[in-house]
Chain A
Amino acid sequence: MTRSEINRFHNDDLRKRRVGGNRFNSLPLGGEICAHLMVGLFSFLCVFPFAFVIIISFTDEKMLVENGYRLFPEKWSLAAYKYIVSSGEQLLQSYFITIFITIVGTLMGVLMMGMFSYAISRSTFRYKNFFTFMAVFTMLFNGGLVPYYMVCTQLLHLRDTIWALILPLCVNAFYIVVLRTFFKTMVPESVIESAKIDGANELRIFFQIAAPIAKPGIVTIALFLTLGYWNDWFQALLFIENNKLYPVQYMLKKLESSIEFIYMYSGYIDPVKRVEIIASLPTEAVRMAMVVLATGPIIFAYPFFQKYYVRGLTVGAVKE
């Protein structure tokens, strides 16, 4: 394949997409209705609990205690959000941390895993099986928490640093294997070979040809990484003592776990203090408001990625 052939490949691609975008190849009407029913029902089941959580977070606490959850509470209230906002800058700071680790971590992860997966997807790479195995093995075996903790704190000195929230999550064998499959199935060997004949090195082929073609795969992994970073609290539980570095999810998790703990072990805690602690625990509405605040923003991330799914199909594979 010469460069012009690559261009043709790319042009073909564009043409294909135009065809695909046309409406004449679509489901028959019955099928379409059926699809909407199925997907719509499921989508309702998914949206409903979340909507409920939002409603609870705006419900007056007294109503919650007396009536339980109601779809249409007798009395609405902003108290839960006011309570959280009044607790100061912590939330803002945590948002900042979460957003920072999500962006930096996702970029790092995509870059590192993209290169790795591309390499092990290449049939000419002599050590591809070795490195694939090396990655997959880590998916199945681990040395347990304590040695991991030791390496992170005593060798890498990650304790109480923002890197403790970023580095441990930026590589994941599962994502590597998925990404490898995308490179393997979507990037034709011939395209790469012809680029090599033209003198492009592997790094350049990766960035300029393979990655753009396998964009849906890369976007998927970026999405997974984003969600992973956003939802993570465990690294903070292990390594973070400084509350300036708490991610939002960790605040939520801490709240959930201390509440659960206090009820479970209430018999052991000083009887007077116990009642005091329970009385001072955030109300259910506050907990739900925390859920809303901790997960709300990330919901907007998905449409953002969806945009790239489509764009991945209209932007060319080779920019020359």
Chain B
Amino acid sequence: MHNVIRNFKKNKELLFMVLPVTVWLILFSYLPMFGIVIAFKDYKIHKNGFLYSLIYSKWVGLKNFEYLFKTDAWLITRNTILYNIVFIVTGLIFSVTFAILLCEVANRRLAKFYQTTMFLPHFLSWVVVGYFFYGFLSIDKGFFNQILKIMGKEPVLWYSDPSPWPFILIFMNLWKGTGYGSVVYMAAIMGIDKTYYEAAMLDGASKWQQIKHITLPMLKPVMIILTVLALGRIFNSDFGLFYQVPRDSGALYDVTNVIDTFVFRGLRTFSNIGMTAAAGFYQSIMGFLLVLISNYIINKIDSENALF
């Protein structure tokens, strides 16, 4: 006990600094977390409000989770995970590459212009992107099919042919996320001690060697952390990307249905708060396990960069 107090005293300044966020986390994140039990209940509304509803609803065990493991479950789980893995890998490559290129481009004015423009997609909602993209892919008026027509080729029924969609979705994801993703890496590159480069230059290292032996290793901690965090959300997906962009076209479900869209479609009208909660809990717990496992592995190999 005495030790505890002493430790507290010793860390009091830092404890004071974590206080505001801690209070926030408790209020906005931890207090509402009791709601997770909804996932295990047959939720019925009680006239005295939510807490009563929660207490008086029947426990149903894992029944709310069953629909996540029915028939198409394998397909949607596979889609979700595969897309996310590809998104993580391509996102990492693109963000880092663009960050490095942008920092190396000699014309600073142009580099700033590039940076600003790469941010633009982030501002457009998927609904607007969806409209817009339709302008390209629409069967009769679409830009692509007009070109195919001019070239004397058969028009492609973009919204009923699943084969190009994995690529379209990957492209759209990169298009929307690269600008945003590369900012962190750019900031990290800004923070690299320039003496390393000086020394390397004196040794006659080429630009490529500098990138390979200085920039990339220095970016490693950021890359690891961001990847681990991304793994935590590997069972979640960007609803708009998978719903608005393919315009909810039935013919594409095999390649566009992910856990989030499946839950939305299944519960759209006869929505069930217990089943929705179950889906969220399932996504969280899987992500959590992945984060713990990857953190454990990183701890073994390179404990400096572990999350905790």
Contacts and interface: CB of A to CB of B under 8 A. Distances in A.
Contacts of A122: 14
B262 interface: no
B21 A171 contact: yes
B197 A25 contact: yes
A216 B190 contact: yes
A136 B11 CA distance: 21
Contact of A16 (B32, B50, B194): B194
Given A214-B191, A302-B116, A147 B33 contact: yes
Given A143-B36, A144-B280, A53 B128 contact: yes
Contacts of A139: 229, 232-233
B291 A36 contact: no
Given A25-B201, A43-B114, A53-B132, A141 B104 contact: no
A43 B179 CA distance: 9
Nearest to A131: B18
A302 B111 CA distance: 13
Contact of A140 (B34, B232, B277): B232
A12 B195 contact: yes
A42 B94 CA distance: 11
Nearest to B135: A69
Given A148-B32, A177-B307, A185 B114 contact: no
B183 interface: yes
B191 A216 contact: yes
A16 B190 CA distance: 12
A160 interface: no
B203 interface: no
B198 A227 contact: no
A1 interface: no
Interface residues of B: mostly helix, strand, loop or mixed? helix
B102 A176 contact: no
Interface in A92-147: 112-113, 115-116, 118-120, 122, 125-129, 131-144, 146-147
B165 interface: no
Interface string B110-146: 1111111111111111011100100100100100000
B167 interface: no
A279 interface: no
Contacts of A39: 98, 101-102, 105, 111, 114
A134 B25 contact: yes
A262 interface: no
A69 B128 CA distance: 13
Interface stretch (A76-84, A149-157, A239-247, A270-278): A149-157
B29 interface: yes
Interface string B255-286: 00000000000000000010011001100100
B170 interface: no
A140 B188 contact: no
Interface in B278-308: 280-281, 284, 287-288, 291, 307-308
Nearest to B273: A146
A26 B226 CA distance: 28
Contacts of A113: 21
A306 interface: yes
Contact of A295 (B7, B28, B124, B201): B124
A283 interface: no
Interface stretch (B60-68, B77-85, B217-225): B217-225
Interface in A23-37: 23, 25-28, 31-32, 35-36
Given A40-B114, A144-B35, A312-B190, A126 B11 contact: yes
B193 interface: yes
Interface in B13-39: 13-18, 20-22, 24-25, 27-36, 38
B175 A112 contact: no
A309 B188 CA distance: 11
Contacts of A152: 28
A161 interface: no
Given A116-B21, A181-B222, 7 more contacts: A39-B98, A42-B114, A126-B10, A141-B288, A171-B24, A203-B13, A216-B190
The 4 closest A-B pairs by CB, nearest first: A147-B35, A143-B35, A16-B194, A216-B187
20 contacts: A16-B194, A40-B114, A42-B178, A46-B119, A46-B121, A49-B132, A50-B120, A50-B124, A136-B229, A137-B288, A138-B29, A140-B287, A141-B33, A141-B36, A142-B32, A151-B32, A182-B191, A203-B17, A302-B116, A303-B112
